Structure 1
Amino acid sequence: MKVLLLKDAKEEGGQDPYVRELGLHGLEATLIPVLSFEFLSLPTFWEKLSRPEGYGGLIFTSPRAVEAVELSLEQDGKSEVWKKSLRETWNAKPVYVVGNATASLVKKLGLEAEGESSGNAEKLAEWICSREPPALPLLFPCGALKGEVLPQMLKDKGIPMESIIVYRKIPHPGIQVNLDSYYSKQHQQGSALALRRASRPASPFSAPLASRTASSTFGSSPEAASSKSSSQPSAPPPRAPWPPRACP
C-alpha cells in the first residue's frame, strides 16, 4: 500500500522517520512538502549581526533562523568579515538553541551552541533564566508566527531581548505540480497493473460451472457426443391403461 505524506523531510540527513516507520509495516510512503519559507529583513539582520558588542548573545529556536544568517553572509564578501572578526566575537557570548538540528547548523557557522537538549522554547527559556542574566539584550531572529512563551518568560525574569522577524511560511510553489505528478504516476501504474491482469490466459478452473459443463458437451466431437447419447438408456414405452376397456 502507498501512503502520501504532506510534509517536509526531516532536517537532519538520513531517511525521514515517518518513511522509515511506515516502511517497517510494509507501506511505501512519499513525501510532498506543502510549505516553503520566505526570508525577510536580511539587510537589517546583517546590521545587527555586524554589531555583536551591542548584544549579550544569540537565540535560535529553528533551523530557518540559522539559514537567515547563512543567507546574510552570502552577499558582498560578508562571509570573510564573519570569519575574520564577527564569529570570534559572537563566540565569546552564549548562543542558545532548541534541538539538535538547529545546533548542527549553528556549529557549521563556527559558533558554539548551548541548550540544544532543551527540546522546546519553554525549556530553553528555563535554561536561559537559570544562567547569569546578561546586561545586554539577547538577539532573537525568529519567524512571523513565533510563539510568545520564550519572550514572555524572559521578560518576566527581567532578561532583555530584541527579536527580529527574518522569515515567514508560504505555500510551497511546486505543490500543485508535485501532486499532479504523483497522482499521474499512480494512475499509470494502476493502468499498467490492470492491463497485465487482463492479458493473463484464463484458467479452465476459474470458469463458472455452467460454462465448463457446456464446454465439455458442445466442445466434444460429434462421434463422442453420439457415443454418449447411445450409451444412455432409452426411456421405457408408455403403459396401456388398466383395466383394458372392451371394444363395442
Structure 2
Amino acid sequence: MKKVVLFKSVSEDYEKAFLDVNYQALFVEPLQFEFINKEDLSQKLLQSDYTGLILTSPRAIEAVSKCWDPARFVLWNTKRIYTVGEVSSHKIKLLLGLEALGATSGNGENLANIITKENPSNSKFLFPCGNLRTETLPNIVKTSGMTVDALTVYETKENENLRTDLMELNDSATPCCMVFFSPSGCEYIHRQLQTFSNNLKELPHFAIGNSTAYKIENLGVEVAGIAARPKADSVVESVQNYFTCTQAS
C-alpha cells in the first residue's frame, strides 16, 4: 500500500478517502496556534453596525467560539456569515450555531466576489483572522466600497516538534508523495528539510489550493498537482491523476 504524507492534523475524512483507493495517509502537523485578542473580539461581536462576519479559516472559527455566548451575541442570528469550504461551514454550525454562506466558493477570491455581489456597497464586515492572512479577500471587498474590519485573533507558528516528526517520517516510512495545506506550512517544512539529509524533499509535492501551490513554486519546487476543491476526494483525485499519468508514460 502506498503512503501519502498529509501536512495537516489527523482527519478521518482524509484517512478514509485515501484508504478507499488503497493509500495509507500519514499525518504531520507543521503548525501550532496561539489565540490572542479575545477581549477585543468579544467587544466587536457586540457591535450592531456590522453587516456580517467573514470566517475563512478553522482557527478563526475556533477563536470566535472561545468567547462565544449565544445569549449575548443573538444579533448575529440575523446577519450574514461567510466562509470557505464545507468543513468550515459545518464547524460554524457546530460551534456557533449559525448557518454560513459561501461554503462552495473554494477560495478567498471567489468568496470575496460572492460577498460583493450579495451586499450593498455600504456594508461592513468583521473579519477575525490570523497573523499570516493574505490581503486578497479584503482588498476585493474594499474595492466595492465596503468596509472590512480585520482583527488578528490567532498567531500561526511552526510546530516545535516539526523537525523531529520529519526525521522520524524519513527514517520509518517510504511515502510516495506529500500534500501541503497552507503556505506557512510549506515554508516551515521546506526550511526544516534543508537541515538534515532526507529523501522527502525529492517526492512529488501536491497543494490543497492555488495559494499553497504558489508558495511551493516560490520555494523552487515543482507542483505535481493542485486539488480542484479543498476536500478530501479532490486531493485524492489529484494524487491519483498524477500517478496514473506517470505510470502511463
Instruction: Report the AA paired with residue 14 of structure 1.
Output: E
Say yes or no: does 1:94 pair with 2:80.
yes
Normalising by the residue count of structure 1, what TM-score does the alignment of the two structures yield? 0.61
Q: 2:18 aligns with which of 11, 18, 21?
A: 21
The 1:63–1:29 alpha-carbon spacing in structure 2 relative to 1, beyond 3 Å, is closer
The answer on whether the counterparts of 1:23 and 1:29 sit within 8 Å (CA) in structure 2 is no
Instruction: Say how many residue pairs are matched.
Output: 173
Answer with 1 or 2: which has the greater Rg.
Answer: 1
Say yes or no: does 1:71 pair with 2:66.
yes
Normalising by the residue count of structure 2, what TM-score does the alignment of the two structures yield? 0.60
Q: 1:166 aligns with which of 126, 141, 153?
A: 153
Q: 1:32 aligns with which of 24, 28, 35?
A: 28
The 1:180–1:57 alpha-carbon spacing in structure 2 relative to 1, beyond 3 Å, is same
The 1:183–1:146 alpha-carbon spacing in structure 2 relative to 1, beyond 3 Å, is closer
Say yes or no: does 1:143 pair with 2:148.
no
Say yes or no: does 1:129 pair with 2:135.
no
The 1:49–1:30 alpha-carbon spacing in structure 2 relative to 1, beyond 3 Å, is same
The answer on whether the counterparts of 1:60 and 1:141 sit within 8 Å (CA) in structure 2 is yes
**Unmatched segments (≥5 aa) in structure 2:** 174-249
The 1:29–1:61 alpha-carbon spacing in structure 2 relative to 1, beyond 3 Å, is closer
- The structure 1 segments of at least 4 consecutive aligned residues displaced by more than 6 Å after TM superposition are none
For 2:70, what is the secondary structure of its paired residue?
Answer: helix
**Alpha-carbon distance between aligned partners in 2 of 1:149 and 1:185, rounded to the nearest angstrom:** 40
Match of 2:215 in 1: none
Q: Which one has a larger percent helix, Structure 1 or Structure 2? A: 1
**Cα shift readout 1:195-233 (whole Å, capped 9, x = no counterpart):** xxxxxxxxxxxxxxxxxxxxxxxxxxxxxxxxxxxxxxx
Q: 1:105 aligns with which of 74, 91, 111?
A: 91
Match of 2:234 in 1: none
Provide the alpha-carbon RMSD of the alignment.
2.7
Q: Which one has a larger percent strand, Structure 1 or Structure 2? A: 2
**Alpha-carbon distance between aligned partners in 1 of 2:98 and 2:119, rounded to the nearest angstrom:** 20
The 1:118–1:4 alpha-carbon spacing in structure 2 relative to 1, beyond 3 Å, is closer
The 1:48–1:15 alpha-carbon spacing in structure 2 relative to 1, beyond 3 Å, is same
